[in-house]
Amino acid sequence: MSKRLTSEELTVADSAEAVTSLYFSRGWTDGLPIHPPTEEAVERMLTGTKRAPFDVIAAVPPSWGEATVEKIAINAVMAGCLPEYMPVLIAAVSAMCEKPVDMMGMQPTTHPVAPLMIVNGPIAKKLDINSKSGAFGPGWRSNATLGRAVRLMLINIGGAFPGKTDMSCQGQPSKYVYCIAENEEDSPWEPLSVSRGFAPGVSTVSIVGLENPHNINDHDALSAEEVLSTIVGSMATLGSNNVRGTLGGEGDAMLALGPEHAQTIAKAGYTRKSLRNYLWDTSRIPRKAFYERARMKHFGDWPEDSSVPPTMVREDLHIIVVGGPGKHSAYLPGWSSHMVTKAIEE
């Protein structure tokens, strides 16, 4: 065993199939074949960071396993990452274990929530993280393996295995991979990172627990007023945790605008902030739309003629631009998680 590494060494037959079978039998995978984390492969992954292998980045709930740089590298190897992805993963682990994200609640909940990773800044282009057509989907090594590495760490370090500790009733596909970059090039507004307080040109990673993207299709709208009417109607849904969660609906939600919708809206003079305010003020559900027991449980002390906003706090509604050509956007309802953004140290 290398003097540089501290993890337990296992002996197994020299084949990827044997390693995958062993790891699957021990509950150390997401169900897909893995890249064997050999000593040489982990050493190679560690060349992507200046941090020492034994540095502890965070403790991952619910088992509170220590996410050392070495353990991050092991899971990165298993996911198929490249060494240059390590700074993103280190920042992502640090962000997702911050209290506002609420990974302690997210890991064992029956809700299908998963942590979305959003990368901003020069590193997104450097690592070829997809922000355009199909950004939420397959076909991009960086998106797929970065997102998968996070999920493997949630299982292997955090101890959240489906049906045992991860009690999500149905789960969702984004529990495999949930990683994108913001399409800053085609966005009419400042990057998400800048709106979060970072200087232009700083590479960041943002983490927040959300549901799968819910498509918003409008190919007919020619004005901001028209496309916003479709978006408002799509966001106002009775089943969202944000408006009827057991914790009172606290938590972030996100509108992921396709560039064409974003540009149509921006031409009418909307900034990211004024758009958020408009959506928060108008994407409302009448209190009377909820059946009586739900009304009394969640909104018992609200006026009878009041309406329920998409998030309990205005600032908890986030807007990003992502995707390629096509008049589609998406709404990502949330849970009780709040976004944390960290600078990526290369």
Do residues 147 and 183 touch, judged by C-beta distance below 8 A?
no
Task: For residue 120, list its beta bridge partners.
Answer: 204
Q: Which residue has the tokens 């966001």?
A: 235
Give CA separation, 65 vs 58, 97, 107, in Å. Answer: 8, 11, 13
* pLDDT exceeds cutoff 60 at 248: no
pLDDT higher than 50, residue 303: yes
Residues 61-79: b if buried by 16+ CB within 10 A, e if exposed? bbeebebbbbbbbbbbbbb
pLDDT digits (tens, 9 = 90+) for 155-170: 999 999 999 999 999 9
Q: What is the pTM of this model?
A: 0.94
pLDDT digits 0-9 by tens, 55-78:
999 999 999 999 999 999 999 999
Q: How many of the other CB atoms lie within 10 Å of CB of 234?
A: 18
Per-residue pLDDT band for 323 (boundaries 50, 70, 90) equals very high
